[in-house]
Amino acid sequence: MLRPVLDALHSAHITANQITIASIGLSFIIGGFFWFADSHILYYLALPIGLLLRMALNALDGMMARVYNQQSKKGEVLNELGDIVSDVAIFFPLLKFESGAIYLIVLFICLSILNEFAGLMAKAIGGKRRYDGPMGKSDRAFLISIYGILSFAWVGFSVYSIYLFYLAVPLLLISTYTRLSKSLSC
């Protein structure tokens, strides 16, 4: 489905690294809208809409690099660091909205970073990056999108929202353990 977009971007002389930078910038915009969602309830919708666009950009930068031979060490570093910085930019407002469980949110953010790092460790050890779940990047994007939709649509959701993170933290631990154990067994 993204191939026509990919071809159009390539025709416009857009590079994989430029797409990655756009994805990082978009993440800060999403985080900014999310930060002010308590004042403008429509801003909660920046989460599902913005994260869908971010995931499309993440797919496009990899496709662009592979299809049009734009792979580079610089691009790989930019992509991996960009994913971590982007997650932090988007997740940071959770500290404001879930202030009653700040330690849980900090744990969620830290484990998200650790989970990405565990995937990278596999590449350093065995030559192949691990994307194992059950709480990888796209799963976290889905979770935060659900958070945004429910926060927008359901006034009483804030009473229950913390349970999403009680579910996410053990899944992040499982995901990280899986990535590390599979990378060590290679």
For 137-146, how does the pLDDT look when each residue is reduced to its tens digit (9 = 90+)? 999 999 999 9
Backbone angles phi, psi at 69, to 5 degrees: 50, 55
Stretch 148-173: mean pLDDT: 95
pLDDT at 156 over 90: no
* Global pTM value: 0.94
Distance CA 186, CA 177 (A): 14
What is the fold, at CATH topology level, of the domain defined by 3-185? Four Helix Bundle (Hemerythrin (Met), subunit A) (1.20.120)
CB-neighbour burial class of residue 103 (10 A; exposed 0-12, middle 13-18, buried 19+): exposed
List alpha helices for the chain, DSSP H. Answer: 3-11, 16-35, 46-67, 73-91, 94-97, 102-126, 137-153, 162-185
Single-letter amino acid, residue 4:
P
Q: What is residue 45's DSSP assignment?
A: G
Stretch 25-50: mean pLDDT: 97
Stretch 4-20: mean pLDDT: 97
Start-to-end C-alpha separation, the chain: 33
Q: Please state the domain extents for the chain.
A: 3-185
pLDDT for 152 equals 96
107-128 pLDDT per residue, tens: 999 999 999 999 999 888 888 8
Give the torsion sign (CA, 68, 88, 169, 182): positive
Stretch 66-70: mean pLDDT: 96
pLDDT for 53 equals 98
